[in-house]
Structure 1
Amino acid sequence: MYRQLVCLCSLVFSSSVLAWVDSDLDGVPDKKDACPNTQINTAVLANGCQQSLGLVSVSPIYFNFDQSRVLRSQLPSIERAHQLIKDNKLVSISLLGHTDNIGSEQLNASLSVKRAQSVKDILVEQFAIDADVIEVSGMGSLAPISTNRTALGRQKNRRVEFKFE
């Protein structure tokens, strides 16, 4: 009788312990964790997957023609992005640079990367964001959000967009 009780207790205890193993330390047991490799200090839902920010609005950073210098008028958008990064402990930020269609594609590709790099430099130097979590890339004139037939449309296309993960 004693032996059966010990065996039964061992089975109950071991299965309950295994039910609460949390390999990625996100607070969700592995048995219920739909995303088993969550990074440390990441907010997760009850299923163990990263909490989405939903629709997050940060205005793009706009630039003057053929320039990569960030205008003072664009700093509030960078400050908003910084606040989102800080408040949500985001681990990955992509900065995607764009241009209008004036000039060669090679020139525009280079300029779009320089624009994204300018925004990254501000986030790193003025807001102390870790440079390793910010990726910069450029699309040149390949992804306009407005027509390139008008001055206003071209102005809207000269931008850097944020993507948060």
Structure 2
Amino acid sequence: MKIASGMRSYCFALLMTVCCHAARSQQTTDTLLVRFDFNQATLTKPATATLDSFLQLNPLAIITRISLAGHCDFVGSHHYNDSLSQERVRTTRAYLEGKGCSPALFGQEAGLGKRQPLELTTTDAARATNRRVELIFGKQAPVKATVPPREAQVVPVASAASSRLSDMIKDSSVKVGSKLVLPNMNFEPGRHFLLSGSFGILRELYRVMKDNPTLQIEIHGHVCCMSGGVDGPDVDTGAPDLSVQRAKAIYDYLVSAGIAAQRMQYKGFGSSQKLFPEERTSLEETKNRRVEIKIISK
């Protein structure tokens, strides 16, 4: 009897572990950035448009938690910037609560001042990038059929996120005309602003261009959530040219960092070249919001 009772307890514990793991596997996260004007904690129109766009795409019923971290540029003292970043967090939270987000959803909140910049340079563009609130949304992923996605257009050489871009370029299989999907370079929904995790690969692309002075590339922008090749509307420009603006954002960054403009071109392809045509999950949408580079000359 003791053995049977012990076995029942073991099976129950195992069942609970499996159930908890399954519940966790249905949880996803999205990171969103909203930007601020210099020395301001008031949300700009583009910032509110970003938040509104996210909430339209993600019903409140699936959002399980929200974490916020405020940041500033390098101008001013730590004391002042800590206070300003905290005020930016409070402003952002108040806006979300006004849109129906329950106070119970909000978890960690931090004002980090100027301690965690995305950009280390002192240009106006770099400072604007650092003035932000980062929001991490926990979401309950909808249960969908596990049909294998079609990935016919993924370039094998770039499929591994661990591959270094410099190694890809040097690879003898990467020839003129090859396209490389840049890993971890993704955008905010409806905008041509990069998610915070994308700046590492962007800086690596800059180093590759600098270390390979004969390299010429074409930058390709792509969007999600549209069909028939249609381009998406850009929240900030108000025009249906989101994929073009995303490619141009990379181009502008490289030019501002000192890469010669004549070594690069940029194009937008709208929704005509999706990696995941049916977009069954938010992860697939994120991967369709991407930038590729095409090798023009090595």
> Normalized against structure 2, the TM-score is what?
0.39
Question: What are the equivalent positions in structure 2 for 1:39-58 lying under 5 Å apart?
Answer: 45=22, 48-53=23-28, 56-58=30-32
What residue in structure 1 maps to residue 129 of structure 2? 156
Question: What are the equivalent positions in structure 2 for 1:11-50 lying under 5 Å apart?
Answer: 30-34=13-17, 45=22, 48-50=23-25
Structure 2 counterpart of 1:71, one-letter code:
T
SS of 2:133's equivalent in the other structure is strand
1:122 matched to 2:57: no
Q: Offset at 1:72? A: 1.3
Which residue of the other structure, out of 39, 46, 71, is the alignment partner of 1:73? Answer: 46
Gaps of 5+ in 2: 139-298
Task: Report if the CA contact (8 A) 1:116-1:137 is conserved.
Answer: yes
SS of 1:161's equivalent in the other structure is strand
Q: Aligned equivalents of 1:30 and 1:50: distance in 2? A: 18
The structure-2 alpha-carbon separation of the partners of 1:111 and 1:72, relative to structure 1 and needing over 3 Å to count, comes to same
Task: Report if the CA contact (8 A) 2:71-2:116 is conserved.
Answer: yes
Question: What are the equivalent positions in structure 2 for 1:97-108 lying under 5 Å apart?
Answer: 97-108=70-81
Q: Offset at 1:133? A: 2.0
What residue in structure 2 maps to residue 94 of structure 1? 67
Superposed CA RMSD: 3.0
Q: Offset at 1:85? A: 5.9
Q: Aligned equivalents of 2:123 and 2:82: distance in 1? A: 21
Q: Which of 1 and 2 has higher RCO (CA within 8 Å, sep 6+)?
A: 1
Count how many residue pairs are aligned between Structure 1 and Structure 2.
133
Q: Aligned equivalents of 1:85 and 1:106: distance in 2? A: 37
Percent of aligned pairs sharing the same letter: 23
Q: Aligned equivalents of 1:98 and 1:88: distance in 2? A: 27
Structure 1 counterpart of 2:41, one-letter code:
S
Task: Report if the CA contact (8 A) 1:124-1:131 is conserved.
Answer: yes
What residue in structure 2 maps to residue 61 of structure 1? 34
What residue in structure 1 maps to residue 160 of structure 2? none
Q: Offset at 1:94? A: 0.7
The structure-2 alpha-carbon separation of the partners of 1:85 and 1:146, relative to structure 1 and needing over 3 Å to count, comes to farther
What residue in structure 2 maps to residue 147 of structure 1? 120
Task: Report if the CA contact (8 A) 2:71-2:85 is conserved.
Answer: yes
Q: Aligned equivalents of 1:143 and 1:69: distance in 2? A: 21
Task: Report if the CA contact (8 A) 2:37-2:131 is conserved.
Answer: yes
Structure 2 counterpart of 1:134, one-letter code:
F
Task: Report if the CA contact (8 A) 1:65-1:155 is conserved.
Answer: yes
SS of 2:50's equivalent in the other structure is helix
